[in-house]
């Protein structure tokens, strides 16, 4: 059976005490294990020159873009506002280049949390820099201190969407974000919403690309939640 090579966009930890102050390239181990247990071969793609993105995408069959820091609002034409958190422009530029290359080459994409937000921006959408900017905010979207293995809020899922085939039309998910999609890109179709009507899932609307994206963190509870495990299996083996 073919083993899909799954490129996982890496993150960077600066000034690691464990390595005498040197930086570390990493990805959360849960993504590696979820991809492996679904039958894929995970390959972490380190943050580097965006001009090398095409070469990296040529090495992989599919691209997974995970969570992390806030995204520089200059990417969607806004100045940073007071509640914006830590941003990493080098990561923004490299991951945007990875996504553009994956879209151009028709590689399937799985976008999670920050990746879900960044792909929307790459395709022309925008974000709420903080949920305090969203007038209908009434759900706790950062569930800390509750652990990620526990789903905490509900989502409604569009009938006949990819997510509905995996989760049915109602589900509970975990949640760790203070930013959210404001304007959805024209090439994307929303497929899941929280009770306060924020977009929690999407897929591509048209074109040759295959996209599935979620605002929650399926890597944190894929062992406890069967539907989250099926999401990784679908991405690795079917999308």
Q: For residues 125 and 85, what is the distance between their CA atoms, to the nearest angstrom?
A: 19
177 given a catalytic annotation? no
Catalytic residue chosen out of the listed positions 200, 219, 228, 233: 219
Q: For residues 120 and 239, what is the distance between their CA atoms, to the nearest angstrom?
A: 19
In the structure encoding, which two tokens stand for residue 56, read together?
A: 């990296």
CA distances from 20 to 14, 24, 81, 190, 191 (A): 11, 11, 34, 45, 45
Q: For residues 42 and 34, what is the distance between their CA atoms, to the nearest angstrom?
A: 9
Q: For residues 185 and 75, what is the distance between their CA atoms, to the nearest angstrom?
A: 13
Q: What is the DSSP letter of 140?
A: -
Catalytic residue chosen out of the listed positions 95, 141, 217, 233: 217
Kindly give the residue spans of alpha helices, DSSP state H, lying in 74-225: 89-105, 114-122, 162-167
133 given a catalytic annotation? no
113 given a catalytic annotation? yes
Catalytic residue chosen out of the listed positions 113, 153, 200, 204: 113
Q: Return the active site residues.
A: 113, 217, 219
């Amino acid at each position: 059976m073919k083993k899909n090579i799954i490129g996982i966009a890496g993150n960077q930890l600066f000034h690691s005490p464990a390595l005498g102050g040197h930086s570390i390239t990493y990805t959360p181990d849960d993504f590696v294990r979820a991809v492996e247990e679904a039958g894929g071969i995970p390959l972490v793609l380190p943050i580097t020159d965006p001009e090398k993105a095409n070469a990296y995408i040529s090495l992989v069959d599919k691209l997974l873009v995970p969570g992390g820091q806030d995204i520089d609002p200059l990417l969607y034409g806004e100045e940073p506002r007071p509640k914006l958190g830590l941003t990493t422009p080098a990561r923004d530029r490299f991951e945007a280049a990875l996504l553009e290359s994956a879209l151009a080459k028709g590689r399937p994409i799985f976008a999670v949390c920050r990746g879900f937000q960044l792909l929307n921006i790459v395709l022309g959408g925008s974000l709420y820099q903080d949920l305090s900017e969203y007038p209908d905010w009434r759900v706790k979207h950062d569930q800390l201190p509750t652990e990620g293995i526990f789903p905490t809020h509900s989502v409604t899922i569009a009938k006949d969407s990819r997510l509905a085939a995996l989760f049915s039309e109602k589900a509970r998910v975990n949640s760790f974000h203070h930013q959210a999609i404001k304007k959805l890109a024209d090439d994307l179709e929303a497929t899941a919403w929280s009770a306060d009507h924020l977009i929690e899932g999407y897929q591509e609307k048209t074109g040759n690309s295959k996209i599935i994206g979620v605002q929650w963190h399926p890597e944190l509870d894929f062992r406890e939640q069967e539907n989250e495990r099926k999401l990784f299996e679908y991405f690795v083996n079917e999308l």
